[in-house]
Amino acid sequence: MRSHAGAPPSRRRFLALSAGGAVAGAAALSGCALQVAGAADSGGGGDSITVMVNEGDITDDQIKQAQKELGIRIIRVKYDVTRLIAMLTAGRPPELVRGVGATDAPYFAARGVAENLDPYFAKSTVLEVDDLDPVNDLWRWDGKAQGKGPRYGMAKDFSQDSMYWYNTALFDQKSVAYPSATEPITYEEWLEKAEQLTQRKGGQTRVFGGSYNGVGLTVNLAALTAAAGGNLFTDDYATIDFSSPEARKALTWYVDYAKTGVGPSLINPNPDTWDGPTYMANRMAMSNSGYWLGGMINGDEKVAKVSRLAPAPRFAGGPRISACQAGTGFWMPKKAHNKQAAWRVFEWFFGQGPAKDRATGGWGIPTLRSLRPLMPRQKDYQKQVVAVQEAELKHFSVVSFTPYAKVEALDAVINLIIPAAMRGQMSIGTLIDRLNDKTNEEMKRGKELVS
Amino acid sequence: MTADQLAAVAGRPGHARGADRARPARRQTSVATRQHRAFYMFTAPWIAGFLLLTIGPMAFALWLSLTTFDGISPNWHWIGLANYRELLSDSVTWGALGRTGLFAVTSVPLSIVAGLALAVLVNRPIKARGIFRTLLYLPAVVPPVGAGLIFKQLFDTNSGATNGVLDIFGINAVAWLSDPYARYVLLMTVLWGAGNVMIISLAGLQDIPRELHEAARVDGASAWRTFRSVTVPLLSPVLLFQAVTGVIASVQTVMPLLLASQPPPGGVTSVPQSNYLYMMHVFAEYFAYGRFGYASALLWVLFVLILIVTGLIFKTTSGVVFYNVDPEAKK
């Protein structure tokens, strides 16, 4: 049947037209998307690049500054891994993407989506390899392990996240001795102190004795295992072994920490959602947030005056290590379209104006050695913090992470299983067996997708 | 009538009577065409949107559910029905589904009964009725994010007002946001929003002819009997509507669960086990595990389950739902 002018369109023809319209609409929408991302190819007003970050990573002022100093327009899109995947799949990724070096670097490098930045570093006069702090090794991946091989990104600032802040006023209230500024206490001692410092009333915790959650559960457990002298992962990073004596020690300690209720955990969540506000409200005596929290602490002189930074604890008989659990920074997707402009912004962000601003604010240790003198040390309490931090840098170590699973996936598995053990409803032995089963199932699936 | 005569009446060209009749017929077609065009023109954006934003993604999700696609890894491939087979043997999925079913059969009747009770109360001729209606409806207007945060603060173990009140009576703090209490907090969030159900029930109550209640009273029926035998049957289409939409909404519950959980790095799966409902599982599979294929299979199964449950509700209630339809209007 042929339709003709003037006749009402049949339902079939109408649906066909609608489908055509939908396709045209989709094309128009993708055209819009192309226009946004395509702006990175320069649109008459100089270069522009798309940067996928959280709002605080690059401020509006910095975007204006970049336009003025570099002549590059930065289009900021909110970091969202689903959106990133969509953009990567469509072949129009952002030019720079926020990432957590400790966990994201091996994941993206192993999948071949991240650009090898070695040739860029080799030519740069702003970011010289000799000037890079060892923390940037978190962004290296040699195809097997983290810490060696080509560079796939760079950290914007960092902390040694097993170090902890403590509030001397809350220590004084409970007559608990301050920890040493030079010699680390043991994890067992840390837990004892936390119990002594915890203030409770009617079953409610008014002051947490200490928080020891780190940047995330898996990466925290990996760091704790390393502190016990082992590795949470097997040599090829293809499996996890919670049953090794070191991992067992780490896990048992963390479960005990949760059981005592001295700090926030999965069974005792913090309504503030992270340590910062609780610590600032004098409701947390110790927090293993590392130097990075200093940016917040420096903002309130009352709290800053009673705050001290202490070295990362060690397990009795274990090695002294002090890892960075995050090393948040940027990486460049291999399929990025405007790589030269992206690298120029990369250099500026990590080595020029914004990097200097971050260093002076106390929000993390600068990732260029040459910027370290900018760390705040005018006041007495700042001098103490910088002295402890500088001494701790000697013990920095990279705790490698697996490329075969997203850290969120491993966190998810542990989150589902561990609460029962924290409530005393599951033995450590059963917990280990279940964690090994489920995490390795996840790792196996990941390995199949990569290799 | 001969064949020629029939042809003449039908309007063969050149025939005077036929030509006369053809003109109004063309005019009729023209009006009908315009109406058709207008209809299709005005509905086209919706149809295009439906195809683009609903059917398209659903078909894409169906395709994804047959793969190991995770968005980034290079070696993803087609696996046929393997995701669906895995789903059948996945104890976490079954656990989440069971909890979701339990949540639906608890929360939906509770919210319908609470909403109806409130509607009956504010339908009475009391003073300041409008204010009460507004106050009871207000929680339903609060955005879910705000409501979630309020509940999180209220029920926090260490600083929440709820435990503060318990403390006054010498009762020890309760970890409301952890197992096994978290499920009760979730139910409370549902009941807190019962104003929504109340408004719809109130509209239904006001639609019931007053004469029927008066007739029941004249016949000596008690208030309870009147409610049971007059109000509820006449309200049954409204209650059915609420049951169906309530079940669909409850199995898709995700926002209160996310808001009551630890934020990242605790992540989406830090919700207490008792609140780890089906959509939470889907959310985790997508965003924590990055298993787009498996999560899509979960969603397709949920879609089919919703269709089945909705069909069952319609089938089992057909004998007890009374539609107040004007018999003349049917003709």
ipTM score assigned to the predicted complex: 0.80
A89 CB neighbours in chain B (<8 A) are 71
In a domain, B116, yes or no: yes
In a domain, B179, yes or no: yes
Domain edge (last residue) among B11, B37, B54 = B54
Q: Which of B273, B291, B281 is nearest to B251 (CA)?
A: B281
Residue A329 tokens read as 């920074």
- With residue A105 as reference, give the H or E element that holds it: helix A101-110
A vs B: CB pairs below 8 A: 161
Note whether B156 contacts A: Cβ–Cβ < 8 A: yes
- What is the mean pLDDT of the segment spanning A382-402? 92
Amino acid, res. B208: I
CATH number 3.90.1660.10 is the correct assignment for the domain at A11-156+334-360: no
A450 CB neighbours in chain B (<8 A) are 73-75
- What is the mean pLDDT of the segment spanning A120-126? 95
Q: Does B76 sit within 8 Å of A22, measured CB to CB? A: no
Q: pLDDT tens across A408-445, in order?
A: 999 999 998 999 999 999 999 999 999 999 999 999 99
Predicted local distance difference test score (pLDDT) of residue B329: 55
A85 CB neighbours in chain B (<8 A) are 71-72
Residue B198 tokens read as 């109340």
Q: Taking 70 as the threshold, does the pLDDT of residue A5 lie above it?
A: no
Coil, helix or strand at residue B160? coil
Residue B277's pLDDT band, with cuts at 50, 70 and 90, is very high
Position with higher pLDDT, B1 vs A255: A255
Domain edge (last residue) among B54, B74, B93 = B54
Share of chain A above pLDDT 70, in %: 90
In a domain, B68, yes or no: no
Using DSSP bridges, classify how beta strands A72-78 and A47-53 pair: parallel, antiparallel or unpaired: parallel
Partner B, chain A 258-277, Cβ-Cβ below 8 Å: 266-271, 273-274
Q: What is the pTM of this model?
A: 0.81
Residue A41's pLDDT band, with cuts at 50, 70 and 90, is very low
Residue A51's pLDDT band, with cuts at 50, 70 and 90, is very high
Predicted local distance difference test score (pLDDT) of residue B269: 65
Predicted local distance difference test score (pLDDT) of residue A268: 87
Q: Which of B246, B244, B225 is nearest to B317 (CA)?
A: B244
- What is the mean pLDDT of the segment spanning A99-121? 95
Where are the extended beta strands (E) located within A101-217?
140-141, 146-151, 153-155, 157-158, 164-167, 199-201, 204-207
Note whether A34 contacts B: Cβ–Cβ < 8 A: no
Partner B, chain A 175-214, Cβ-Cβ below 8 Å: 201-206, 213
Query: Which of A107, A204, A415 faces B270 most closely, judged by CB atoms?
Result: A415
Q: Which of A286, A323, A300 is nearest to A158 (CA)?
A: A323
Number of domains in chain B: 2
Predicted local distance difference test score (pLDDT) of residue B267: 57
Distance from CA of B169 to the nearest CA of A (A): 10
* Same domain assignment for residues B253 and B121: yes
Q: Which of B73, B166, B282 should be substituted to probe chain A, the one whose Cβ sees the most A Cβ atoms within 10 Å?
A: B73
Using DSSP bridges, classify how beta strands A164-167 and A140-141 pair: parallel, antiparallel or unpaired: unpaired
The least confident of A49-63, A212-226, B171-185 is B171-185
DSSP code of B286? I
Predicted local distance difference test score (pLDDT) of residue A272: 81
Amino acid, res. B300: W
Question: What are φ and ψ of residue A284, in 5° steps?
Answer: -145, 120
Distance from CA of A41 to the nearest CA of B (A): 24
Partner A, chain B 218-277, Cβ-Cβ below 8 Å: 261-270, 272-273, 276
Note whether A122 contacts B: Cβ–Cβ < 8 A: no
CA B47 – CA A40 distance, rounded (Å): 34
State the angle between helix axes of A101-110 and A407-422 in degrees (0 to 180), rounded to the nearest 10: 130
Number of neighbouring beta carbons within 10 Å of residue A254: 23
Q: Does A266 sit within 8 Å of B29, measured CB to CB? A: no
Predicted local distance difference test score (pLDDT) of residue B144: 78
Predicted local distance difference test score (pLDDT) of residue A56: 85
A409 CB neighbours in chain B (<8 A) are 288-290
DSSP code of A239? -
Using DSSP bridges, classify how beta strands A140-141 and A146-151 pair: parallel, antiparallel or unpaired: antiparallel
Number of neighbouring beta carbons within 10 Å of residue B46: 10
Q: Which of B69, B93, B158 should be substituted to probe chain A, the one whose Cβ sees the most A Cβ atoms within 10 Å?
A: B158
Note whether A378 contacts B: Cβ–Cβ < 8 A: no
- What is the mean pLDDT of the segment spanning A199-221? 91
Residue B260 tokens read as 């009551």
A442 CB neighbours in chain B (<8 A) are 289
In a domain, B222, yes or no: yes
Measured on CA atoms in the order A402, A408, A410, A414, is the torsion positive or negative? positive
DSSP one-letter string for B126-140: -TTHHHHHHHHHHHH
Q: Which of A195, A185, A261 is nearest to A227 (CA)?
A: A185
* Same domain assignment for residues B44 and B87: no
**Tell me, what CATH number does B307's domain have?**
1.10.3720.10
* Same domain assignment for residues B126 and B253: yes
Q: Which of B279, B247, B254, B300 is nearest to B96 (CA)?
A: B279
Distance from CA of B10 to the nearest CA of A (A): 20
The least confident of B9-18, B98-107, B123-132 is B9-18
* Same domain assignment for residues B32 and B90: no
Q: Taking 80 as the threshold, does the pLDDT of residue A275 lie above it?
A: yes
Mean pLDDT of chain A: 89
How would you class A195 by CB atoms within 10 Å of its CB: exposed for 0-12, middle for 13-18, buried for 19 or more? middle
* Same domain assignment for residues B46 and B130: no
Q: Tell me the residue range of the domain where B40 lies.
A: 1-54
Using DSSP bridges, classify how beta strands A47-53 and A96-100 pair: parallel, antiparallel or unpaired: parallel
- What is the mean pLDDT of the segment spanning A330-355? 96
Query: Which of A18, A213, A268 faces B48 most closely, judged by CB atoms?
Result: A18
Note whether A317 contacts B: Cβ–Cβ < 8 A: no
**Angle value at C-alpha A337, between A334 and A342, nearest 5 degrees:** 85
B159 CB neighbours in chain A (<8 A) are 204, 271
CA B263 – CA A269 distance, rounded (Å): 10
State the angle between helix axes of B292-317 and B82-89 in degrees (0 to 180), rounded to the nearest 10: 70
Half-sphere exposure in the Cβ direction for B66 (13 Å, CA): 8
Q: Taking 50 as the threshold, does the pLDDT of residue B25 lie above it?
A: yes
In a domain, B59, yes or no: no
Distance from CA of B221 to the nearest CA of A (A): 53
B40 CB neighbours in chain A (<8 A) are 9, 14
* Same domain assignment for residues B44 and B119: no
Q: Does A18 sit within 8 Å of B47, measured CB to CB? A: yes
DSSP code of B53? I
Q: Does B40 sit within 8 Å of A274, measured CB to CB? A: no
Please check whether residue B289 is in contact with residue B68, taking contact to mean a CB–CB distance below 8 angstroms.
no
Half-sphere exposure in the Cβ direction for A7 (13 Å, CA): 9
B48 CB neighbours in chain A (<8 A) are 18, 21-22, 25
Whether omega for the bond prior to residue B180 falls within 30 degrees of 0, making it cis, is yes
Distance from CA of B302 to the nearest CA of A (A): 22
Predicted local distance difference test score (pLDDT) of residue B103: 95
Query: Which of B157, B178, B288 faces A412 most closely, judged by CB atoms?
Result: B288
**Angle value at C-alpha B19, between B15 and B23, nearest 5 degrees:** 175
Predicted local distance difference test score (pLDDT) of residue B293: 96
Q: pLDDT tens across B212-270, in order?
A: 989 999 999 999 999 999 999 999 999 999 999 999 999 998 877 776 665 544 456 67
Site of tokens 């891994």: A81
* Same domain assignment for residues B234 and B298: yes
Query: Which of B72, B286, B287 faces A88 most closely, judged by CB atoms?
Result: B72
Predicted local distance difference test score (pLDDT) of residue A44: 41
CA A393 – CA A396 distance, rounded (Å): 5
Predicted local distance difference test score (pLDDT) of residue A24: 46
Q: Does A17 sit within 8 Å of B44, measured CB to CB? A: yes
Note whether A450 contacts B: Cβ–Cβ < 8 A: yes
* Same domain assignment for residues B3 and B47: yes
Q: Which of B232, B255, B252 is nearest to B305 (CA)?
A: B252
Distance from CA of B47 to the nearest CA of A (A): 7
Q: Taking 50 as the threshold, does the pLDDT of residue A204 lie above it?
A: yes
* Same domain assignment for residues B36 and B163: no
How would you class B320 by CB atoms within 10 Å of its CB: exposed for 0-12, middle for 13-18, buried for 19 or more? exposed
- What is the mean pLDDT of the segment spanning A79-99? 92
* Same domain assignment for residues B166 and B216: yes
Q: Taking 60 as the threshold, does the pLDDT of residue B1 lie above it?
A: no
Partner B, chain A 427-446, Cβ-Cβ below 8 Å: 442, 445-446
DSSP one-letter string for B189-219: HHHHTTHHHHHHHHHHHHTS-HHHHHHHHHT
Query: Which of B72, B167, B284 faces A204 most closely, judged by CB atoms?
Result: B167
- What is the mean pLDDT of the segment spanning B100-109? 95
Note whether A26 contacts B: Cβ–Cβ < 8 A: yes
Residue A295 tokens read as 């940016």
Mean pLDDT of chain B: 86
Q: Does A412 sit within 8 Å of B284, measured CB to CB? A: yes
- What is the mean pLDDT of the segment spanning A361-387? 91
Predicted local distance difference test score (pLDDT) of residue B151: 86
Question: What are φ and ψ of residue A407, in 5° steps?
Answer: -60, -35
Q: Does B158 sit within 8 Å of A205, measured CB to CB? A: yes
Note whether A17 contacts B: Cβ–Cβ < 8 A: yes
Which residues are registered as beta bridge partners of B144? none
* Same domain assignment for residues B262 and B127: yes
B262 CB neighbours in chain A (<8 A) are 266, 269-270, 273
So where are chain A's domains? Answer: 11-156+334-360
Predicted local distance difference test score (pLDDT) of residue B28: 61
How would you class B20 by CB atoms within 10 Å of its CB: exposed for 0-12, middle for 13-18, buried for 19 or more? exposed
Residue B200's pLDDT band, with cuts at 50, 70 and 90, is very high
Residue A201's pLDDT band, with cuts at 50, 70 and 90, is confident
How would you class B311 by CB atoms within 10 Å of its CB: exposed for 0-12, middle for 13-18, buried for 19 or more? exposed
Q: Does A271 sit within 8 Å of B92, measured CB to CB? A: no
Q: Taking 50 as the threshold, does the pLDDT of residue A6 lie above it?
A: no
Whether omega for the bond prior to residue B265 falls within 30 degrees of 0, making it cis, is yes
Query: Which of B52, B164, B288 faces A408 most closely, judged by CB atoms?
Result: B288
Q: Taking 80 as the threshold, does the pLDDT of residue A203 lie above it?
A: no
- What is the mean pLDDT of the segment spanning B166-193? 88
Q: Does B36 sit within 8 Å of A449, measured CB to CB? A: no
Predicted local distance difference test score (pLDDT) of residue B237: 94
Q: pLDDT tens across B292-327, in order?
A: 999 999 999 999 999 999 999 999 998 888 886 655
In a domain, B67, yes or no: no
Note whether B33 contacts A: Cβ–Cβ < 8 A: yes
Note whether A111 contacts B: Cβ–Cβ < 8 A: yes
